Amino acid sequence: MGFKKRTHNCGELNISAIGKIVTLNGWVSRIRDLGGLYFIDLRDRYGITQLKINPDKKDVYDTSLKLRNECVISATGKVIKRESINRNIPTGEIEIDVDELQILNEADVLPFNVEEDVKASEELRLKYRYLDLRRRAMTKNLLIRNDVYFIVHDYYRRHNFVEVETPILMKSTPEGARDYLVPSRIHHGKFYALPQSPQTYKQILMVAGLDRYVQICKCFRDEDLRADRQPEFTQIDVEMSFVTQEDIFELSEGLFKEIWKKILNVDIKIPFNRFTYDEVINKYGTDKPDLRIKNDLTIKNLTDIFKNSNFNIFKSAIESNGFIAGIKLKTKEYKIEITRKIIDNYTEFVKKSGVGGLVYIKSDETGKLNSPILKYLSEEELKLISDLYEVQNGDVIFIVIGEKNKVLLSLGLLRNKIAEDFNLIDENDYEFVWITDFPLFKFNEEEMKFEGEHHPFTSPKDEHLSLLDSQDRKSLESIRAVCYDLVLNGNEIGSGSMRIYKPEIQRKVFKIIGLSEDEAEKKFGFLTEAFKYGAPPHGGIAFGFDRIIAILCGLKSIKDVIAFPKTVSATSLMDDCPNYVDERQLKELGIKIEKKK
RNA sequence: GGAGCCGUAGUUCAGUUUGGUUAGAACGCCUGACUGUCACUCAGGAGGUCGCGAGUUCGAGUCUCGUCGGUUCCGCCA
């Protein structure tokens, strides 16, 4: 079973090696058989080197005829200059004149061709993941991921952070996402949960005096998947003592500056932009705005302008506490034409968000305004709108009427859609932005109770502490938290907060989200207990590692930066999991399976 | 839980609108030719449970219903 070991890899030989006898190991990437001359592209992680086989060398030639794509071989020979040079690859000036050829392993006919411009469906690529990962593009993603691991570890170490592993088997805390559960064999009927995040542990490490904690860790959430959401994902988890939000921002900005410089050689400007939650919701209709989108398209409130409107739809909307707002699209300098069909399409689009519909006001070439509702609008109203939007010839204003939240949501989505439809996004731009001052609580209309917007350990802003004692919904909803998200190009890539470290505040928050003292004690008693014995002021943040890598790689889906991802139904096609287990295993755990009706 | 799209040769797709002869193409595979290719070229060949199951029909890849899988989005994701 011996084989001739490589002396070099497939990406490193060049003209300076001419004359050397070398051995290469790798996969047959492509064969070009010219009859009297036989070429093999040999591939490994490092690159591709061309092997040349001359029919005069009968043994070698006969062996080569048995080769198929993706066979693993060992080839030995002299490095020679090519007669015709390939400028597309680093090794393109040389080739190996093969004297010895060993087939280390044959390959069956492949389920799909391993080629850079992959044509196989994602389903096949997932099933034969090892073949997909042989593609340069996929290998590259894993290598970038690897480089970022290193940068992160190095960066935090330089800043005095300690990496601590936290348990994978932990206590279930049903607030927030659904837990993945692990049954206990020793304690029938009891379960561990996989961490949604190591939140409680990292806070306790602060109580323990570790001062600065970091971990690149796996988190698990049993919720439905998306292109940017996997059931298990990786997080850069950070917690710090004796700090304020500003310290965390500064340290995080330094990290991203370093990653972007080292990976992309891009200088991002710090400090990042900041908006409060209320600002972005009103301006962009979302808490994760894509600031690459220029062309105005920011939301402006028109409710006041129309407060005395004679137009029935506006009038009745305002009377029933409704909201009117719109966004302006500049068409002229972007060479956009807004047709009737597009407007119909956008009308349908906004309706999905639960608003009545879309009206538009269009300024034509000469500056004359057109709109289906023009005759209902007064000169004064038109003037106010023109001034507010600084309307120029060719501009179109899209207006939505309805309930405030839905109007903002629909315009936010419309903004993204317009940007996508008309290519208003610069793909080489990186717009980082901090979103601060999130509400502490969110009212759940269905269950008629308050929930934590972030998690129940998030600290209210000092100036809102007194509001924790109020009873009315409005006051409670107005409480803002020292809680922040980091948004990049419309993706939430990080989220964190300053934590509550005083037991009496924690008690009040638990009470508001409907946790009785008894329940709070059962679920989080260990944490509040820990806080009794000297808890430092602390806070932290966690970054979505997979999303960051995807953006660095220019990808929309995080699947391509995860070696073995799950499908949208949370299965792994390669190893066919989840799957049934032996009756014996179930018995050991004291579990009986109820048949699905 | 809901909605959209997709499922035809080993692979990627066409064919489904308007049901009708032997289901086509490219890549891959097999055979042969070829001494400078690099997506080699050329000639020939093999290869199909049209995802699965019912139904409508004289006749279903094509229409209907169900189901399974993939994917995108909504709900969900402290």
Provide DSSP, A64-123.
HTT--TT-EEEEEEEEEE-SS--TTSTTTTEEEEEEEEEEEE--PPPSS---SS--S-HH
Q: Note the pLDDT tens digit of each residue in A173-204.
A: 877 899 999 999 999 999 999 999 999 999 99
Residues A341-363 have a mean pLDDT of 86
User: Could you tell me the distance in Å between the CA of residue A113 and the C1' of nucleotide B25?
Assistant: 18
Q: Note the pLDDT tens digit of each residue in A313-350.
A: 888 888 888 899 999 999 988 888 888 888 888 888 88
Nucleotide B38: nearest residue by CA–C1'?
A: A86
Q: Cα separation of A41 and A51, whole Å?
A: 6
Residues A565-578 have a mean pLDDT of 94
What separation in angstroms does the CA of A237 have from each of A103, A219, A252?
46, 10, 11
Minimum mean pLDDT range among A341-355, A400-414, A494-508, A551-565: A341-355
pLDDT at A1 over 80: no
Q: Which residues are bridge partners to A39 per DSSP?
A: A32, A52
Comparing CA positions, the residue from A129, A203, A160, A217 lying closest to residue A573 is A129
What separation in angstroms does the CA of A509 have from each of A451, A473, A506?
10, 14, 5
Rounded CA Rg of chain A: 30
How much is the pLDDT for A596?
63
User: Could you tell me the distance in Å between the CA of residue A596 and the C1' of nucleotide B60?
Assistant: 34
Which nucleotide has the shortest C1'-to-CA distance from A118? B12
Nucleotide B73: nearest residue by CA–C1'?
A: A226
Nucleotide B3: nearest residue by CA–C1'?
A: A352
Q: Which residues are bridge partners to A218 per DSSP?
A: A234
pLDDT at A411 over 60: yes
Q: Note the pLDDT tens digit of each residue in A88-107.
A: 999 999 999 999 999 999 99
pLDDT at A446 over 80: no
How much is the pLDDT for A445?
77
Residues A55-81 have a mean pLDDT of 94
User: Could you tell me the distance in Å between the CA of residue A162 and the C1' of nucleotide B68?
Assistant: 49
pLDDT at A67 over 60: yes
Residues A422, A332: contact at Cβ < 8 Å?
A: no
Using a 7 Å cut-off to protein CB atoms, list the covered nucleotides of chain B. Answer: 1, 10-13, 27-30, 33-41, 69-78
pLDDT at A521 over 70: yes
User: Could you tell me the distance in Å between the CA of residue A571 and the C1' of nucleotide B65?
Assistant: 28
pLDDT at A438 over 90: yes
Residues A513-525 have a mean pLDDT of 89
Say if the ipTM goes beyond 0.85.
Answer: yes
Instruction: State the pLDDT confidence band at A296, using cuts at 50, 70 and 90.
Output: confident
User: Could you tell me the distance in Å between the CA of residue A203 and the C1' of nucleotide B53?
Assistant: 55
Q: Cα separation of A503 and A371, whole Å?
A: 59
Reading the block at residue A99, the tokens are: 């004297």
Give chain A's domains with CATH numbers.
15-105 (2.40.50.140), 139-275+432-562 (3.30.930.10), 293-421 (3.30.1360.30)
How much is the pLDDT for A426?
87
pLDDT at A28 over 60: yes
pLDDT at A597 over 60: no
pLDDT at A480 over 60: yes
Mean pLDDT, rounded, of chain A: 93
